[in-house]
């Protein structure tokens, strides 16, 4: 258990370059994120055009999101056991032909609904491994003092690609069967080229990026790599996570915020589009929905500097409650208020993500990082369907404005209270990070 460390003075000048390996990695990731944005818009629209059934569209939506709940924990074990770059590479190579084949079948008019649903699940499954491994690769590309800056660069670029440019391009291509998939496949292929270039470059630690960094000493454990040992590895990561009250606090704040955000975004069309309170045409919904991406891109430009200037605890203490206030402000019945509030929410969430990701990457031992990170992400992403459901129930019972007010109050209370309740100084005594592997007794009783 540890509190947020105060930000140390950097060991290198503030304008130190992130380096060519990071730039290649960034280009590869952003190309894939742009493809994600195209694909995530094209796929539901293709399902609707093939079937005309809301049930099929719902099934595709479930298939696209299910891997994050079903596979992210075992994916963490795989990434920790293997070099993260190797996991990114093989998962990307599996994803590329799946997207290309779906696009070819859609273009030829030979794509059955069952294949679309199955393909959506498999592509999302590969994406789960790619995204989780990418977060483990970053600490191998830049030195620790540059992690906030690198994360800010990635966050702003990913927001622009996946939430703004990608969906806009997907919407333009959606009317042409198979073309959206073809464009996504080409972008995924570009990401593979970037990964291939990274294989040839040394990292900043004198090792190749594909190699695993020196890990903390590990106690002998059962041999083998079967299901039983995978379960032990999962328990090991979960036990470490439970001992880290700072990670529990971050996850609790992020999960609560995601519940409120999911409820808000689910009910936003009902509020915005006529006959909703704002009374706007349906074409305006895209502009309002893009507001978080606009704020996120702008925040990414200053997130690293703000984190360095004020430190992680101050960033959390300000941004988390502010998210709640901005969500509540959406209830003001004017379009500018909705756009501005959502834009600020997007910026605050990027700042929080940069702080959280940098803290996890710099404080979780390399040997456990992917497993602990997968537990964290499973918690914060798994609550989104709950938020969407609660949003509908609250709107039906109390009205749409109540969704924004109650969601804002929930995020405000969580952001203000949870850090004080869950974060406290690390206990005195031996440094548990020297050997992060839980004891056999802890694994037995956890």
Condensed to tens digits (0 to 9), the pLDDT of residues 213-225 reads 444 334 444 444 5
Flag whether 3 is in a domain: no
Flag whether 119 is in a domain: yes
Which residues constitute the domain of residue 78? 18-209
Q: Are 158 and 48 within one domain?
A: yes
- Identify the CA nearest to 164 among candidates 286, 42, 268: 286
What is the pLDDT at residue 175?
Answer: 66
- Buried b / exposed e across 108-120, counting CB within 10 Å, b at 16+? eeebeeeebbebb
Between 215 and 375, residue with greater pLDDT: 375
Token output for 392: 């509908």
Q: Are 345 and 253 within one domain?
A: yes
Q: Are 376 and 257 within one domain?
A: yes
Residue pointed to by tokens 């294989």: 199
Flag whether 152 is in a domain: yes
Q: Give mean pLDDT, residues 17-42.
A: 87
What is the pLDDT at residue 208?
Answer: 47
Q: Are 250 and 190 within one domain?
A: no
Q: Is 2 helix (H, G, I), strand (E, B) or coil?
A: coil
Q: Is 208 helix (H, G, I), strand (E, B) or coil?
A: strand
Q: pLDDT digits over 394-421, tens only?
A: 988 999 999 999 999 999 999 998 876 6
Give the CATH number for residue 291.
1.20.1250.20
Q: Supply the pTM of this predicted model.
A: 0.80
Flag whether 433 is in a domain: no
Q: Are 287 and 197 within one domain?
A: no
Q: Are 191 and 59 within one domain?
A: yes
Share of the chain above pLDDT 90, in %: 41
Between 208 and 33, residue with greater pLDDT: 33
Question: Residues 426, 1: contact at Cβ < 8 Å?
Answer: yes
Flag whether 186 is in a domain: yes
Q: Are 57 and 137 within one domain?
A: yes
Question: Residues 236, 440: contact at Cβ < 8 Å?
Answer: no
Flag whether 9 is in a domain: no
Q: Are 145 and 279 within one domain?
A: no
Token output for 37: 């944005």
Which of residues 209, 236, 261 is at a domain's end?
A: 209
Which of residues 186, 209, 232 is at a domain's end?
A: 209
Band (pLDDT 50/70/90 cuts) for residue 430 is: very low
Those residues whose C-beta lies under 8 Å from the C-beta of residue 249, and which sit 6 or more positions away, are: 418, 419, 421, 422, 423
Q: Are 36 and 139 within one domain?
A: yes
What is the pLDDT at residue 274?
Answer: 84
pLDDT at 71 > cutoff 60? yes
CA atoms of 106 and 182, how far apart (whole Å): 10
Q: Are 314 and 194 within one domain?
A: no
CA atoms of 275 and 268, how far apart (whole Å): 13
Flag whether 445 is in a domain: no
Q: Are 289 and 181 within one domain?
A: no
Flag whether 142 is in a domain: yes
Q: Is 211 helix (H, G, I), strand (E, B) or coil?
A: coil
DSSP string for 243-311: H-HHHHHHHHHHHHHHHHHHHHHHHHHHHHBTTSTT-B-GGGHHHHHTHHHHHHHHHHTTHHHHHHHH-
Total number of domains in the chain = 2
pLDDT at 204 > cutoff 70? no
Q: Are 273 and 344 within one domain?
A: yes
Most confident of 4-13, 114-123, 177-186: 114-123
Residue pointed to by tokens 């370059």: 17
């Amino acid at each position: 258990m540890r509190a947020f460390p105060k930000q140390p003075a950097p060991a290198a000048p503030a304008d130190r370059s992130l380096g060519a390996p990071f730039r290649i990695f960034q280009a590869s990731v952003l190309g894939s994120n742009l493809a994600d944005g195209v694909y995530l818009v094209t796929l539901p629209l293709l399902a609707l055009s093939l079937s005309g059934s809301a049930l099929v569209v719902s099934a595709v939506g479930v298939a696209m999101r299910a891997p994050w709940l079903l596979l992210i924990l075992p994916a963490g074990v795989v990434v920790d056991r293997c070099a993260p770059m190797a996991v990114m590479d093989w998962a990307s190579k599996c994803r590329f032909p799946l997207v290309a084949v779906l696009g070819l079948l859609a273009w030829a008019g030979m794509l059955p609904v069952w294949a679309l649903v199955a393909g959506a699940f498999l592509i999302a499954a590969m994406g789960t491994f790619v995204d989780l491994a990418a977060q483990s690769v970053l600490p191998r590309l830049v030195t620790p003092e540059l992690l906030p800056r690198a994360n800010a660069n990635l966050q702003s670029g990913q927001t622009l690609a996946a939430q703004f440019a990608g969906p806009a391009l997907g919407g333009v291509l959606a009317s042409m069967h198979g073309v959206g998939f073809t464009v996504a496949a080409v972008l995924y292929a570009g990401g593979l080229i970037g990964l291939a270039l990274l294989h040839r470059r040394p990292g900043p630690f004198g090792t190749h990026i594909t190699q695993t960094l020196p890990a903390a000493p590990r106690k002998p454990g059962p041999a083998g790599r079967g299901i039983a040992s995978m379960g032990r590895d999962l328990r090991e990561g979960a036990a470490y996570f439970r001992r880290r009250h700072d990670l529990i606090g971050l996850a609790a704040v992020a999960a609560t915020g995601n519940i409120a955000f999911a409820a808000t975004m689910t009910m936003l069309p009902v509020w915005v589009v006529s006959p909703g309170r704002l009374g706007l045409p349906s074409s305006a919904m895209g502009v309002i929905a893009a507001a978080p991406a606009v704020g996120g891109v702008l925040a990414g430009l200053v997130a690293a500097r703000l984190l360095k200037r004020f430190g992680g605890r101050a960033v959390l203490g300000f941004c988390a409650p502010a998210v709640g206030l901005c969500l509540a402000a959406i209830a003001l019945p004017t379009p500018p208020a909705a756009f501005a509030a959502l834009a600020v929410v997007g910026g605050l969430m990027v700042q929080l993500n940069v702080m959280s990701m940098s803290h996890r990457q710099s404080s979780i031992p390399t040997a456990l990082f992917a497993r602990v990170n997968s537990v964290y992400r499973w918690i914060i992403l798994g609550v989104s369907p709950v938020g969407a459901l609660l949003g509908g129930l609250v709107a039906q019972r109390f009205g749409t404005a109540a969704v924004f007010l109650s969601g804002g109050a929930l995020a405000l209370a969580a952001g203000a209270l949870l850090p004080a309740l869950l974060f406290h100084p690390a206990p005195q005594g031996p440094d548990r990070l020297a050997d992060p592997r839980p004891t056999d007794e802890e694994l037995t009783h956890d």
